[in-house]
């Protein structure tokens, strides 16, 4: 049996949206209905999303997703960008869990699909 794709949803919304999702999940659980993991990254507004996911960071995500786990040095080489700037972007993307760092120090994109809802 094939495993399900790991899906991350990007949403624009405030804390009420997260509270609504929590309440719905709580109700499904108390009613003993089947639940599936839901991974959501909420941003307060579109300007914040665009500041966080700059074109350079989006390109970094795409390159990393296509290549698989890489060191930051190798990623910077493949992107033809300065190591320090790529390192800064990696830190920012790790903070919001769009990428992960393995025990070996390499970074990767853990998501099969990233879907945006506005």
Same-domain check for residues 64 and 89: yes
Q: What is the pTM of this model?
A: 0.75
**C-alpha neighbours within 13 Å on the C-beta side of residue 95:** 8
The reply to whether 24 falls in a domain is yes
Helix, strand counts (H, E) of the chain: 5, 5
The confidence score (pLDDT) of residue 10 equals 82
Residue 118 domain-assigned?
no
Helix, strand, or coil (residue 82): coil
Which of 13-17, 29-33, 52-56, 81-85 tops mean pLDDT? Answer: 81-85
Inside any domain, residue 64: yes
Structural domain for 70, as ranges: 53-109
The answer on 83 and 37 residing in a single domain is: no
- Between 3 and 35, the more confident residue is 35
């Amino acid at each position: 049996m094939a495993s399900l794709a790991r899906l991350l949803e990007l949403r624009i919304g405030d804390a009420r949206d997260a509270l609504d999702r929590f309440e719905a999940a709580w109700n499904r659980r108390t009613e003993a209905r089947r639940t599936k993991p839901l991974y959501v990254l909420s941003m307060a507004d579109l300007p914040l999303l665009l500041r966080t996911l700059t074109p350079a960071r989006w390109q970094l995500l795409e390159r990393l997703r296509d290549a698989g786990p890489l060191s930051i040095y190798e990623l910077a080489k493949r992107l033809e960008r300065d190591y320090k700037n790529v390192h800064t972007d990696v830190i920012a993307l790790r903070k919001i869990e769009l990428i992960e760092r393995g025990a070996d120090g390499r970074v990767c994109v853990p998501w099969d699909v990233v879907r945006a809802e506005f």
